[in-house]
Amino acid sequence: MRNLGRKLLFASAFLAPLAAWGAVPLLPSTPTFSEPSQIVGTLNFLINTINTAITPQTMANYATPRNLLDNGGMQIQQRGTGTRTCGTTTIPSSAYSADRWGCNVNVTSGAGTLQVITSNLPAAPLPTFNAGMVFYRTSGALAQPQCVMQEIPTSRITPLAGQNVNLSFYAQGLANMLAEQTTLNAYLFTGTGTDEGLQSFTASPAITPAFTGIASTLTTAFTITSSWARYSTSFQVPSTATEAAVALCWTPTVGGTAGTTDGFRFTGVQLEQGTSASAFEFRSYGDELVTAERYFYAINEGTITAGTVMVGGGSAQGTTTTCTTAIPFPVTMIKAPTYTNALTASTFKLVSASQTATALSTPFSATLGANTPYGASINFTTTGMTAKDGCFLVSAAGSGTMQFTADF
């Protein structure tokens, strides 16, 4: 009780100047409480009041992150750090670079590139990031917008209908882009459908997703320079909005010079409730990965030591050449994914009770039945197994990959 009393007096003294500003009421000089639980409750209220008065936008509950966007710091890179060619009238899975971020160049004659970067990032006094992306035009002469985008799930944007949101990001213009123009546009697209995705766009210039009930595009133009800087703008979400997407776009000039510096670098993208930007919310790698795997899951052989089991629990069901293997997903995906692979006879191997590690045959794998949000089943072909053998897929230290895509 003595310690609680001291804390209460300290809190009262601390709140006095705040009360002078009209922020909080002063405690009575001689507070009276009928039981200890009232004191504890009052202290908790005071602590909450202090937090609200001092740092209202940095005290978000861990269970309700501020950033409405996923992977804003681009640290999740399940597709690797290689270049990705942008879509021309849509954003297919192949046009995603860092997880959840895809791009399109809006015209069939253009060729845009999106790539993860781990260097040439913001430096002190700006925050330190371990990844970002570069978005540039590799060819094409038409002056058409080129955009990098992320869709926001219906479940996340609907509660903010009719409210203000703030978009902030760090960006740096590159030489060829800045020689043409210095304008970078930020967009918030909204619609009245449900998770309709970025697989269909309106007519050229196709920078607007073909959402049901697409709202007027909200846009802000920023003048960027060759130095990293933070930019922010506020939007009001329409009261009928049930889906949304954020985009950063620029329009090259006809006479511009395409190449690796005909674009911009960016990182630290954040969309949050309110009209001002708070400090970028750095989330743990594990938290970001779990979220990213709801939309895309990859099994990459090159990250695993040769001979290590990659996928197990299969069997040669009445055959000597086919191993049927179940692949449970680490998290429930947002919908049943599509399956693609890059496998050859020199990537991955099969081990069974009747044989040592044996190279895959051709065709190397195919789905067995329909995938679900919870997992998939794959048939891998080989030679020499005994029917009803148990079988496992192991790494051959190659570059094979299996990808399950549920991106919007």
Q: pLDDT of 9-23, one tens digit each? A: 444 444 444 444 444
- So what's the pLDDT on residue 68? 96
Q: Is residue 71 part of a domain?
A: no
Does residue 44 carry a pLDDT above 70?
no
Q: Give the residue, 70 or 322, on which the prediction is more confident.
A: 70
Q: Is residue 210 part of a domain?
A: yes
Tell me what the mean pLDDT of segment 201-216 comes to.
80
> Do the bridges between strand 401-405 and strand 338-342 make them parallel or antiparallel, or are there none, so unpaired?
antiparallel
Confidence of residue 117 (pLDDT cuts 50, 70, 90): very high
Range in 62-66, 70-74, 383-387 with the lowest mean pLDDT: 62-66
> 156 and 213 in one domain?
yes
Contact 399, 347 (CB under 8 A): yes
CATH number, domain of 248, equals 2.60.120.260
What pLDDT digit, counting tens, does each position of 224-233 carry? 999 999 999 9
Q: Is residue 72 part of a domain?
A: no
> 241 and 203 in one domain?
yes
Q: Is residue 69 part of a domain?
A: no
Distance CA(215)–CA(142), nearest Å, equals 27
> 184 and 127 in one domain?
yes
What percentage of the chain exceeds 70 in pLDDT? 82
Confidence of residue 50 (pLDDT cuts 50, 70, 90): low
Q: Is residue 169 part of a domain?
A: yes
Does residue 130 carry a pLDDT above 70?
yes
> 287 and 370 in one domain?
no
> 149 and 205 in one domain?
yes
Does residue 6 carry a pLDDT above 80?
no
- So what's the pLDDT on residue 262? 93
Does residue 314 carry a pLDDT above 60?
yes
> 309 and 281 in one domain?
no
Q: What is each CA distance from 96 to 2, 87, 93, 135, 204, in whole angstroms?
A: 60, 9, 6, 12, 21
Residue 33 belongs to what domain range? 2-54
Distance CA(231)–CA(219), nearest Å, equals 13
> 165 and 90 in one domain?
yes
- So what's the pLDDT on residue 250? 92
Q: Give the residue, 382 or 74, on which the prediction is more confident.
A: 74
Structure-derived torsion over alpha carbons of residues 159, 161, 166, 168, reported in degrees to the nearest 10:
70
> 299 and 287 in one domain?
no
Contact 268, 122 (CB under 8 A): yes
What pLDDT digit, counting tens, does each position of 338-396 carry? 999 988 888 888 888 888 888 888 778 888 878 999 999 888 888 878 888 888 888 88
> 318 and 268 in one domain?
no
**How much is the pTM?**
0.80
> 264 and 125 in one domain?
yes
Q: What is each CA distance from 82 to 133, 190, 221, 255, 315, in whole angstroms?
A: 11, 31, 29, 28, 35
Does residue 163 carry a pLDDT above 70?
yes
Q: Give the count of domains, the chain.
A: 3
